[in-house]
Amino acid sequence: MNNLILIRHGQSLWNKERRFTGWADIDLTPQGKFEAEYAGNLIKDLNIQFDSYFTSELKRAINTLKIILKILNKSEKKFNRAWELNERHYGDLTSLNKDEIIKKHGIEQVQIWRRSYDIAPPKMNPQHSYRNDIYNKIKKNKLRESESLKDTFDRVVPYYEKNIEPLILSKKNILISAHGNSLRALCKKLFLISKEKIINFELPTGNPLLIRFEENLKIKDYRYLDKKRSKKILFNV
């Protein structure tokens, strides 16, 4: 039996300030660093020998992983970074306060932008202050100015199937530190969650989700390591 751990990065500054973050490269708060440390100790207690580590190109996920690796006494440099594991791109909503956007556009419209499966927020203005040059290496035909969860799924899942799934098939233990929506997209694939149910599924920050596989990628069981901070899992295996 082999293991996959999914962890959403610890609380970021914009999580705390209730701002749309997306691809803006915002770091962890002290609380977020504590969550990562706590998660690292929970993972350490499992006594699992991990073979590979994956994260996004965003520092809040990278630094969460580095904190965990330090606790596991592993090299903080030996991991795989991929833009495909980045958070969902929130387009022109990036950096805006969620409560202020609700006042301006109404809660129904904001909920559509946040939680619908295939409707993206308004595209990012070319002059937006949070455009980031780390994406220059992304082929223009793959780069979007805004993403729905479906768009996120369409980049996360092919990357997973090409780079991570074969490792799991070969009985390797894997840890992925990523983001709320990129991990929601991955969970949609792993647990065969419908687009209707995925709307209500959310991973808490800094709480590792342990998934154990049998042969042929069949999921044996799964659980959050921090039971006190678990979100209700709305799907069945």
Could you report the per-residue pLDDT of 170-202, keeping only the tens digit for each?
999 999 999 999 999 999 999 999 988 888 888
Low-confidence winner among 78-92, 103-117, 132-146 (lowest mean pLDDT) = 132-146
Cα–Cα separations (whole angstroms), residue 221 to 68, 92, 140, 188: 23, 39, 39, 16
Q: Which two tokens stand for residue 216?
A: 């042929």
pLDDT in tens, 212-226: 998 888 899 999 999
What CA–CA distance (Å, rounded) separates 5 from 215?
A: 17
Q: Which residues are catalytic?
A: 9, 87
Single out the residue of 6, 52, 8 nearest to residue 28, CA to CA.
8
**Residue 226 CB neighbour total at 10 angstroms:** 14
Which pLDDT belongs to residue 134?
Answer: 56
Query: What is the mean pLDDT of the segment spanning 93-99?
Result: 93
Find the helix or strand (DSSP H, E) in which 169 lies. helix 165-169
Q: Which two tokens stand for residue 138?
A: 């992304």
Low-confidence winner among 108-112, 160-164, 181-185, 229-233 (lowest mean pLDDT) = 229-233
Cα–Cα separations (whole angstroms), residue 194 to 54, 61, 84, 120, 236: 26, 26, 22, 18, 11
Q: Which two tokens stand for residue 206?
A: 């800094």
Find the helix or strand (DSSP H, E) in which 185 lies. helix 180-190
In the chain, the domains with their CATH numbers are 8-176 (3.40.50.1240)
Contact between 32 and 64 (Cβ < 8 Å): yes
Contact between 22 and 91 (Cβ < 8 Å): yes
Report whether pLDDT(232) > 70.
Answer: no
Which pLDDT belongs to residue 72?
Answer: 95
Report whether pLDDT(236) > 60.
Answer: no
Q: What is the mean pLDDT of the chain?
A: 90
What phi and psi, each to the nearest 5 degrees, are found at residue 120?
-95, 155
Report whether pLDDT(37) > 80.
Answer: yes
Parallel, antiparallel or unpaired: strands 80-81 and 52-55: parallel
Does residue 106 sit in helix, strand or coil? coil
Low-confidence winner among 15-24, 125-134, 147-156 (lowest mean pLDDT) = 125-134
Single out the residue of 149, 151, 163 nearest to residue 199, CA to CA.
149
What CA–CA distance (Å, rounded) separates 116 from 149?
A: 7
Single out the residue of 6, 68, 51 nearest to residue 167, CA to CA.
51
Report whether pLDDT(133) > 80.
Answer: no
Cα–Cα separations (whole angstroms), residue 90 to 147, 185, 233: 6, 15, 25
- Rg of the chain over CA atoms, in angstroms? 17
pTM for the complete prediction? 0.93
